[in-house]
Amino acid sequence: MTFDELSPADRRLVDKARRHTLTSYAPYSRFRVGAAILLSNGEIVSGSNQENAAYPSGLCAERTAAFYAHATYPDAKFQTIAIAAVGTDGLELPDPIAPCGACRQSLLEYEKLAGGDVRVILAARDRVYILPSVRSTLPLAFVEF
């Protein structure tokens, strides 16, 4: 679908994710990602990718937002996460990007804690995808045994 077809609540979340691409610290990749998470207490917690000279020490926007959200509101359940990205040319990407495997696994933990689906909105200039759950993005996921 397109941005205009989203519900007002989803548009607000996507706006937050887009705005947070501006807080990205990405001097190495110059690829800016923003994420915004709507919690069951009505709060929206946002994050962006934070890179480091020791490359693997950096963190994606999704995990920055997710860890901050749960560290700040440990009793709130995740409801929806929106993700947006700006390419190396400084423009929003025409097509959505999807979270990396480590972010999917991390988000799955919070979906499990929520006890219900966490919707994933992948937003880009021309297209927006809504995925019904984190689980749907990670087939054969590792879960506690």
> Active-site residues: which are they?
62
- Token readout for 65 is 């937002």
Angle at 103 between CA 98 and CA 108, to 5 degrees: 105
Piece in contact with ligand THU (CB under 6 A), picked from 28-36, 37-45, 115-123, 131-139: 28-36
Indicate the SS3 state at residue 46: strand
Nearer to ligand THU, 30 or 40 (CB): 30
- Token readout for 61 is 């926007």
Give the C-alpha separation, 57 to 35, whole Å. 19
Give the C-alpha separation, 115 to 113, whole Å. 5
Is 136 near ligand THU (CB under 6 A)? no
Piece in contact with ligand THU (CB under 6 A), picked from 8-16, 24-32, 112-120, 125-133: 24-32
Which residues from 45-64 bind ligand THU, rule CB under 6 A?
49, 51, 58, 60-62
Q: Which residues pair with 37 in a beta bridge?
A: 45, 81
Q: Which residues make up the interface to ligand THU (CB under 6 A)?
A: 26, 29, 31, 33, 49, 51, 58, 60-62, 97, 99-100, 103
